[in-house]
Structure 1
């Protein structure tokens, strides 16, 4: 999943109106932000699928970033760090919940390659990616709902708050469509470096939220 992860970041704003959208994006995408660095360090591995494959990547080994046990650990860590910084139990729970939500959404679309714990077998996955149109429809619907919830719960302070948000929404959709219909990645290193670029989306979300305010405040 791609759009659905960001959709949950948008959708969580009404639950934690004082938490920046950038932080919500960071939480929901944390394991995918961690994964490219682990690839570059050789601690996890993926390979490019043969030409014509429905799923372009074969996830061979990623227990540190994507096993359920590890994801729960990352969730506890990020929730604890957020509580230490902001002293809000509610916000910390939302942040931690978003981290875990990433694995749960991946469970729906991945073929059985998600480990439950490092070294645990067998891996799990419901395989919706094998039905591309169904996966595309699901992600589009979830993204539309998430974006609507964010728009409903916030309002722009200025033109930047409006234009930057719509630009972010459009960019996310374009990236998703390129991922779905574009050519397969040329190499694993390219996958890792493109994955690192997701940090720019987090930074953009911080900038957007700085120019918006919760409705009624």
Structure 2
């Protein structure tokens, strides 16, 4: 669902123009970066990705990351927080999620979308890119940049839809 994560970070840009764009894009992928780090270091022994992707940990990582943007104002902090938490929400749709690390199986949500998830991602990307394009236009971001950005995300999503 990585294209949807990019689109979520971009959609937040217009909501908090003082937030650095890199913070929203990195934030949208932070849970995956942590998942890789914890896996490589052998720190996540849950058999899944609960130290990075569970509800409680997503809230914690979102809060820690957002606090680094305090000097940019509340809107920037909120956007950074939402960028990370959006990852949890989007992944929960197609992967399910645990409540906290080592939570019992009965406290884990199943995926909401079990078939056709690639089309769900396309729909989510489209909605988020429309929000980005509308806000980018309002913020006077050049048409060339808006178009190129959307084209890249659509290309990434198209690659995923084709199964590559």
Q: TM-score normalised by the shorter chain: which range applies?
A: 0.7 to 0.9
Return the offset for 1:27: 1.7
1:121 Cα deviation (Å)?
2.2
Q: CA deviation at 1:165?
A: 4.9
Tell me which residue corresponds to 1:43: 43
Q: For the structure 1 residues 136 and 61, does the alpha-carbon distance in structure 2 shift closer, same or farther, using more than 3 Å as the test? A: closer
2:54 corresponds to: 67
Contact 1:75–1:97 under 8 Å retained in 2: yes
Q: Write the distance in 1 (CA, Å) between the matches of 2:110 and 2:94.
A: 7
Aligned-residue RMSD, C-alpha? 2.6
Deviations 1:27-81 (A, max 9, x none): 2221122222223223348xxxxxxxxxxxxxx5111110111111111101211
Higher normalized strand content (fraction of residues): 1
1:161-180 pair list within 5 angstroms: 163=144, 165-180=146-161
Instruction: Work out the CA distance in 1 between the residues paired with 2:68 and 2:125.
Output: 32
For 1:154 and 1:16, the matched residues in 2 are separated by: 11
Aligned counterparts of 2:118 and 2:50: Cα–Cα separation in 1? 29
Across the two proteins, how many residue pairs are aligned to each other?
Answer: 162
- Residue in structure 2 matched with residue 120 of structure 1 by the alignment: 103
What is the aligned partner in structure 2 of residue 80 from structure 1? 67
* 1:148-180 residue CA offsets vs partner (Å, 9 max, x unmatched): 234223334xxxx65455444323222222233
Whether the aligned pair in 2 keeps the contact of 1:106 and 1:125 (CA below 8 Å) is no
- 1:95 aligns to 2:76 (yes or no): no
Matches within 5 A, 1:145-160: 145-156=130-141
Gaps of 5+ in 2: none
Q: 1:33 corresponds to which residue?
A: 33
After TM superposition, the runs of 4+ consecutive aligned structure 1 residues lying more than 4 A away are 161-165
Residue number in structure 1 paired with 2:19: 19
Query: Within 1, Cα distance between the matches of 2:39 and 2:144?
Result: 35
* Unpaired stretches in structure 1, ≥5 consecutive residues: 46-59, 184-217
TM-score, normalised relative to structure 2: 0.80
TM-score (norm 1): 0.63
SS in 2 for 1:130: coil
User: Which entry has the higher C-alpha Rg, 1 or 2?
Assistant: 1
**TM-superposition CA deviations, 1:97-147 (whole Å, max 9, x none):** 22222111222222x3x2110011222133315224542442343233233
Q: Deviations over 1:160-207 (max 9, x none)?
A: x65455444323222222233235xxxxxxxxxxxxxxxxxxxxxxxx
